[in-house]
Structure 1
Amino acid sequence: MMDNILKKWDIRRTFYLLGGIFFIVTAIKDQIWWVAIFGIYFISMAVFRFGCAAGNCKLRLTQKEEKP
């Protein structure tokens, strides 16, 4: 579990973490508490590495095979 949290950080996970922190800070500062849900979601994606932070959002392009 700790290996998943501490290792293999890439730019996408960093942006998710920073975006989540931004949403949390904005929610606290402006007292718009429902925005904190988005912050918690993005932080959890970065920390626990699920969703797009795990690299599952890539589109795999395959070439069609030509039939003779």
Structure 2
Amino acid sequence: MKSFVQKWTLSRLLYLLAGTFFVLVAAFDRVWLMIPLGLYFMAMAIFKFGCASGACGISSKEEPDQSL
């Protein structure tokens, strides 16, 4: 468990908190269609996929111009 939590970044923590917030608000307000959104954010944080893994950054490497 220690190695699982040790490599967390701020973005993963924010995704987990946002997902938890969405799930709790949806449950209290009985907006059941919002629960999958919260679960998606929580899964991104827990399983480290999508933007929570840092894969949403834009590459700064420029491609050389191939025009003749």
- Would you call these one fold, judging by a TM-score over 0.5? yes
Corresponding residue of 2:33 = 34
C-alpha displacement of 1:65: 5.3
Give RMSD over aligned pairs.
Answer: 2.0
C-alpha displacement of 1:5: 4.1
Corresponding residue of 1:21 = 20
The separation in 2 between residues aligned to 1:53 and 1:24, in whole angstroms, is: 18
Look up the SS of the partner of 1:44 in the other structure: helix
Give the count of matched residue pairs.
65
Q: Quick check: 1:52 aligned with 2:67?
A: no
Q: Deviations over 1:18-41 (max 9, x none)?
A: 000010001110000010010100
C-alpha displacement of 1:62: 1.8
C-alpha displacement of 1:6: 2.9
Identity of aligned residues (%): 38
Q: What stretches of structure 2 of length at least 5 have no aligned partner?
A: none
Q: What stretches of structure 1 of length at least 5 have no aligned partner?
A: none
Q: When the two structures are superposed, what TM-score results if normalisation uses the length of structure 2?
A: 0.82
